Amino acid sequence: MCCMLSSHLEVATMDMLMPSFLQLTMPVLLACTIEPGQADPADALKPVEGVTVETWATDPMLVDPVAFCIDERGRIYVAETARQERGVEDSRSQSYWNLDDIALQTNEDRLAMYRKWAHKFEGGMDHFTRYEDRIRLVYDSDGDGTADVSMIYSDGYDDPLDGTGSGLIVDGGHVWYTNIPHLWKLEDTDGDDVADVREQVFSGFGIRIALRGHDMHGLTWGPDGRLYWSIGDRGYNVINHEGEHLFDPTSGAVFRCNPDGSNLEVFHTGLRNPQELAFDDYGTLFTGDNNSDGGDKARLVHVAEGGRTGWRMEYQSLAGDNLRGPWNQEGLWQERHEHQPAWIIPPITNIASGPSGLVHYPGLGLDERYRDHFFLCDFTGSPQHSRVLSFAVEPEGAGYTVKDVHPFVSGMLCTDVDFGWDGRMYVSDWVQGWECSETGRIFALHDPRHSSDPRIEEAGRIIREGLDHRSIEELAALLGHADQRIRLQAQFALARRGDDSIDAFAGVARSSSDQLARLHAVWGLGMVARSTSMPQGDPGHPMKFVMDLLMDEDREIRGQSSKVLGESMYTPAADALVELIFDPEPRVVYHATMAVGRLRYVEGIDAITEMIWANDNEDALLRHAGVMALAWMNDRESLLELTGDAFPAVRLASLLALRRLGDPGVELLLDDPDPLIAAEAARAINDEPMESSMPGLVARLASFQEGGLESESASELGILRRALNAAIQSGEPGDAGLVAGVVRNTEIPDSMRREALNVLDEWLDPSVRDRVNGAYRPVDDEKRDEAAWRTTMSLLLPSLLEDQDQDLATLARELATEHDIPLDDAAAMKTLSDPGARSRDRIASLRQLHRKTEYADDMIAIALSASDTKLHLEGLRLLATKDPDRAVQFIKTGLEHASIERRQGAILVLGSLETKKADLLLMDLYADYARGSAPTALHLEIEEIVSTRDGSSIEFLKSLHGFDADEERSYESALEGGNAVLGRDLVRYHGAAACLRCHAIAGHGGATAPDLSTVGSRLDREAILESIIHPGSVIAEGYGDATAMPEMKQLLTPREVRDIVEYLASLRLNDI
C-alpha cells in the first residue's frame, strides 16, 4: 500500500512518513491506494456471510491503536500508545519489584518505586518519559468512504506515571480520555481540531503496576445520564469532589459520575481487566473480563451495582498448590457451581480468550438477527486467532444467559469496535504482537443489503444537526427512534430542559406503544428528579409519574421504574416498592429489593428476608439484591438478629451484609452448622481482613485436630487454609500447637497437612504476604516465643519421619535439619544408606548427620559413592566446605568420567571455591571451552563461573580468548543438558513466560499459537531453541507474518531456556 500525502497548502515531504509525522498537529491528507499486485489488508479478513469489509485507514495515518470513538460528524478519535514496555511496564518482565508492587498504596509510592529501580532501565528515569501516548483525529474529508485526514488532537502524555491511554468518548465539544492516573476532559475552543484545554477531572487511578494493558478504559454513557468507565486491577486511591475517599489497591472496578464530575462512586468491583463497557436496550451493563493464564477462562460479566467479581491483583503471582489463590482454588472465575463462594456474583459465561472492545448494536445497518446483540473484540496476540464475536443475552431469572455466540469477523488483531453514523461497523487493528510496532489499521464493515435504509441517513443527519435546538415534542418523538444512540441523546437533551420536560416524559412513559421509548422516558424522569427543586410531596414531581408505573403490565417498565425510584431516593414510593418484592418476575423483584434498600426503608426488612428465604440461594442476583438492601439499611441490631435465623439463606445474607460493612459480627457465624456459611465467615475475616476477629478464626483450628473433613469442598478447605493463615498472623505460642495438630491429623488432605507444616516453618519469620490471597500483610514477629515454637517442633517433627505422606516426611526432616531440631541419628543413617530411598530424604539425612563432627567424614564418603546424582553433588558441596583441595580432586576426576548432570553440578561447586587448585582447574576448563572441546551441555556452567571470577590468570585467559560474558552466546549455549522436569514446570507455571497462555500441551493451554504436544517430533533442538530466543525468525504456517511471542531472553535465564528446550524436545508423537 502506498500513501500519497499533501497538506492543505502544499505537497508533503517524505519526512512526514518518518516518526516526526506522528507529532504533526496540522491536518494532513493521506489518500491511501492499493498498488497493483499489492494485497488489501481487508482481503485477509473473514466476515460473516453478507457483510463486506474495507480498509478505512492504515498506518501511518494511525499507529498502535488501543481504542477509539466516533463523533457526531463521523470523525474517529484514536487512542495511540508508544509506551508499551517503554514507560508502561509489566510486572512479569520486572519480577524483582513484585513485592514492592503489591505494597503500593498511592501513585506517589509508585513513582518512588520507579526511582528505586531506575538503574534497571536504560537511561534510568528517562526510560519512563522517552515515549508518549496521544490522541489522533482521523477522518474522511471527501466522503469517499475511506479516511484521508490524520492529525494529532492531543499529545504529551509522557509523565512517568502516565499510561496507557486507552479510553475515549466524545460529548458535544468535549473529549473524555482515560490515561492513568487521570480522567481527562479535553476541549478544542478555537476550532483547529487540536485540544487547547485539558482538565484533570479526577486523579489517583492505577496505583500499582500489575500487568501491562490493565489500564483505565471503557468510557460510556449510561441511560441514567451518568458517565461510566472501568479500570483493570491496578487499583485506585481517589478523592471525589464531595471529599469521599475511594480506595482499593487490589482490584479492577467500574466507576460512574455525573457529567459535571460530581458524585463519583464505585459501581462494581473485583474485576481483573474489564476493557470496555456496554449497555443493552434495557439499561443493563456488561463487560468482558480477561483470564489470568492460570487455567482460568475469560468471562462475560453482568456489571450489577454493588457487585463483586472476586479478583485481586495479588492472585496473579500465586503459584504451586495455591495457584492463583481463591480465584482457582474456590472457582471464582467459573460459572455458577455448588461450592462457589457466595460473596461474589458469578460470571454469566466463559467467553473469548482476550476480551477487548465491546459495543452494543444500536439497531441499524445489520440484519434483524443482530437486534440487541453485542460485539466483542477477542484479542489474542495473533491476528489469525483473533476475531470480533457477536452474541446476545436474554433474561434467566434475575440474571442473564448468552445465546447466538458466533464470529462476526476474524483475521485481525482487533482492539476496539464501534458503530459509525453511516451504518457501518468500525474495528481497530493492532496488526501484530503485543508490543508497539508503529502499525495500525481501522476497518469498516457493512451489509450492502441495508446500506440504503433511510433511517441510517436520518440518524446521521439528526446527530450532525444536534438536538438541543429541537422542540420538546420533537425530542419526545425521538425517544422511539430505531437507533439506540438517538434515543439516548434525545433523552439527555430533553432532560436538560429540566422541569419543563416532565409532562413530555410522563406522556411517553404512560401512553406510548413503544416499549423502548417508555424506558427512555422513565430514565429521563430519573435524570430530571436529580436536578429538580420540587419537594417530594409535590403532585408534579417527576417521580410521582414513575411511581404510577409500578403496576404496569410490562415487567421491564415495573423493574426500571423501581430502579429509578430508588436511585432518586423517592421515599413516598417505599411501601409500593415493598409490595413489588413479591412480584412474579425476578427482574422486578431484583430492582424493587435494591430500591427499598437504597431508600433505607427499615420497615421493608421483613419483606426482604422473606424474599431471601424463598429464593434459598437459587438465584445469585436475587441474593445479591437482598444483601445490598440489608447493607444499605445498615441496621446492625437487625443484622445481628438475622445471624440466628432458622433459615440458612437468611443467615448467609446477613453475614454477607455484615462483611460489606466491615462488621466483626461475622464471627458469630464461624461455627455455623452450614459449611457454606462458616466458610463465608472465614473468608470475610481473613480476606477483608477483620483483625479483631482473627482470634476466633484461629480457634477454628480446634475442629481440625482429629477426624476428616465432611467433604473436601472449597468451603471446608477454605476455612482450614484461612485458619492456618490467621494462626501465623497471630503468632501466639498456643496457636503453633493448634497448627501442629493439623499436621498430625492424617485424616485431612495431605496437601493441607503440608501447608500447616510450611506455616510452622515460617513461624519465626513470616512472609509479608497473606498465604491465602497473596495480599501484602507484614506482621510483627519480634515478640514471637522461639522457645515455645522449638518445643512444638521438637515434639512434632520426629513423629512425621515415617508418615504415610512421603513428601511430608521429607519436609519434616529438611526442616529439622534447617532449624537444628534433634532427630534420631540411627533412622537418618538408615535412610542415607538406603539406595532405594528418595533423593530428598537421603539429602535431608545427610545434612542432619553432617552437623555432627563424628559422622561428617563417613557421611560425605557415603554420599560421594552414591549412584544418586543429587546426593552425590550434595556430598561434594559439603566436602568443599570442609576440605576444598580434596573436593577439587573429586571434581577433576568426575569431569573426565561422570554424567553431564554430575559434571554440571561439579562445575558450580568448583565456582564456589577460591583456592589455587580450583583456579588451575577452572583455567583448564575455560581453555577447553574456548577451543570448542568442552561439551555444549557444560557451556552455561563454565560461562557462569568464569564471568564472576577475577584474578590475573583468569583475566589473562579471558582476554586471550575474547571472553566478554556475551548474553547472546549464553542463550545460544542452551541447546543441551537441560532438566526436562524443571522445563515442564517452567512451561506450565512461569508467570512471566506464560507459555500456556498461547500454546497448548496435551489439551491444556491456549489456541493462538502452535500446539506443542509433539513439538519434539516436528523440530530439532536447534529449531526449538531458535523459536524461544528469536521467535520471529520462523513463523509456523497458519500463524501470520509476525509473532506475538516476546523474546524469552527478556523473561528467562539461559539455564531456564535450556531446561525448556530439554522438555520440549522430549514431547514426541509416540508419547501421546
Q: What is the pLDDT of residue 966?
A: 57
* pLDDT tens, residue by residue, 768-802: 999 999 999 999 877 799 999 999 999 999 999 98
The C-alpha cell that represents 465 in the structure block: 444537526
**Residues paired with 388 in a beta bridge:** 377, 409
Helices (H) and strands (E) in the chain, counts: 37, 32
> In whole angstroms, what separates CA 446 from the centre of its chain?
33
Query: Phi and psi for 353 in degrees, rounded to 5?
Result: -120, -35
Q: Which of 263, 215, 343 is nearest to 718 (CA)?
A: 343
Element housing 511 (H / E)? helix 502-511
Tell me if residue 391 falls in helix, strand or coil: strand
> In whole angstroms, what separates CA 579 from the centre of its chain?
41
| Dist. CA 107–CA 631, nearest whole Å | 31
Q: What average pLDDT is seen over the chain?
A: 91
| Dist. CA 635–CA 351, nearest whole Å | 39
| Dist. CA 873–CA 891, nearest whole Å | 10
Which amino acid would we find at residue 96? Y
The C-alpha cell that represents 28 in the structure block: 494532513
Q: Give one word for 753, left, alpha or beta, with left for phi > 0 and alpha for psi -120 to 50.
A: alpha
Q: What is the pLDDT of residue 13?
A: 30
| pLDDT at position 5 over 50 | no
Q: What is the pLDDT of residue 1040?
A: 53
**Residues paired with 174 in a beta bridge:** 171, 187
Residues 210-227, mean pLDDT to the nearest whole number: 96
| Dist. CA 47–CA 447, nearest whole Å | 10
| pLDDT at position 949 over 80 | no
| pLDDT at position 1032 over 80 | no
| pLDDT at position 650 over 50 | yes
> Buried (b) or exposed (e) across 108-117, using 16+ Cβ within 10 A?
ebbbebbeee
Q: Where are the beta strands (DSSP E) in 484-642?
A: none
60: preceding bond cis by omega (within 30 degrees): yes
**Residues paired with 443 in a beta bridge:** 55, 427
Residues recorded for the chain: 1072
Q: Do residues 1029 and 418 touch, judged by C-beta distance below 8 A?
A: no
Tell me if residue 385 falls in helix, strand or coil: helix
Residues 673-693, mean pLDDT to the nearest whole number: 96
Q: Where are the beta strands (DSSP E) in 758-853?
A: none
Residues contacting residue 821 through CB under 8 Å, at least 6 positions apart: 790, 793, 794, 797, 815
DSSP state, residue 14: G
| Dist. CA 484–CA 780, nearest whole Å | 57
How many CB atoms neighbour CB 897 within 10 A? 8
* pLDDT tens, residue by residue, 367-380: 999 999 999 999 99
Superfamily of domain 980-1071 in the CATH hierarchy: Cytochrome c-like domain (1.10.760.10)
Q: Do residues 67 and 166 touch, judged by C-beta distance below 8 A?
A: yes
Residues 589-616, mean pLDDT to the nearest whole number: 98
Q: Where are the domains of the chain?
A: 2-309+345-450, 533-744, 980-1071
| Dist. CA 392–CA 370, nearest whole Å | 8
Which contacts (CB < 8 Å, 24+ apart) does range 244-251 have? Answer: 249/104, 249/105, 249/207, 249/208, 250/312, 250/313, 250/314, 250/775, 251/311, 251/312, 251/313
> In whole angstroms, what separates CA 256 from the centre of its chain?
21
Which residue in this structure is represented by grid cell 443527519? Answer: 461
Q: Do residues 317 and 775 touch, judged by C-beta distance below 8 A?
A: no
Q: What is the DSSP string of 625-685?
A: HHHHHHHHHT-HHHHHHHTT-SSHHHHHHHHHHHHHTT-GGGGGGTT-SSHHHHHHHHHHH
Q: Which of 219, 165, 184 is nearest to 359 (CA)?
A: 219
Q: Do residues 701 and 738 touch, judged by C-beta distance below 8 A?
A: yes
Which amino acid would we find at residue 269? T
Q: What is the pLDDT of residue 429?
A: 98
- Straight-line distance from the first to the last Cα atom of the chain, in angstroms, rounded to the nearest whole number: 46
| pLDDT at position 1072 over 80 | no
**What is the C-alpha radius of gyration for the chain, rounded to an integer number of angstroms?**
33
Q: Do residues 763 and 735 touch, judged by C-beta distance below 8 A?
A: no
* pLDDT tens, residue by residue, 712-770: 788 899 999 999 999 999 999 899 999 999 999 999 999 999 999 999 999 999 999 99
Residues 320-333, mean pLDDT to the nearest whole number: 94
Tell me if residue 317 falls in helix, strand or coil: helix
Q: What is the pLDDT of residue 19?
A: 42
The C-alpha cell that represents 588 in the structure block: 422486578
Return the ∠ at Cα 469 (arms to 495 and 171), rounded to 5°.
Answer: 60
Query: Domain 2-309+345-450 carries which CATH code?
Result: 2.120.10.30
Residues 622-641, mean pLDDT to the nearest whole number: 98
Q: Do residues 541 and 530 touch, judged by C-beta distance below 8 A?
A: no
Q: What is the DSSP string of 395-436?
A: EETTEEEEEEEEEEEESS-EEEEEE-TTS-EEEEE--SSSS-
Tell me if residue 478 falls in helix, strand or coil: helix
Same fold, 533-744 and 980-1071: no
* pLDDT tens, residue by residue, 819-850: 999 998 888 899 999 999 999 999 999 998 88
Residues 577-588, mean pLDDT to the nearest whole number: 98
| Dist. CA 520–CA 495, nearest whole Å | 11
| pLDDT at position 7 over 60 | no
* pLDDT tens, residue by residue, 842-879: 999 999 888 877 778 888 999 999 999 999 999 999 99
Q: What is the pLDDT of residue 954?
A: 59
Please state which architecture CATH assigns to domain 533-744.
Alpha Horseshoe (1.25)
Residues contacting residue 716 through CB under 8 Å, at least 6 positions apart: 675, 679, 709, 710
Q: What is the DSSP string of 128-196?
A: GTSS-EEEEEEE-SSSSSS--EEEEEEEEE--TT---EEEEEEETTEEEEEETTEEEEEE-SSSSSS--
| Dist. CA 700–CA 666, nearest whole Å | 14
Residues 426-435, mean pLDDT to the nearest whole number: 93
Counting residues of the chain whose pLDDT is more than 70, the rounded percentage is 93
Which residue in this structure is represented by grid cell 479500570? Answer: 231
| Dist. CA 784–CA 839, nearest whole Å | 34
Q: Do residues 748 and 724 touch, judged by C-beta distance below 8 A?
A: no
| pLDDT at position 1 over 50 | no
Query: Phi and psi for 1047 in degrees, rounded to 5?
Result: -65, 125
Which residue in this structure is represented by grid cell 472496578? Answer: 253
| pLDDT at position 569 over 90 | yes
Distances (CA, A) of 355 to 213, 266, 275, 300: 12, 22, 7, 9
Q: Do residues 217 and 275 touch, judged by C-beta distance below 8 A?
A: yes
Residues 253-268, mean pLDDT to the nearest whole number: 98
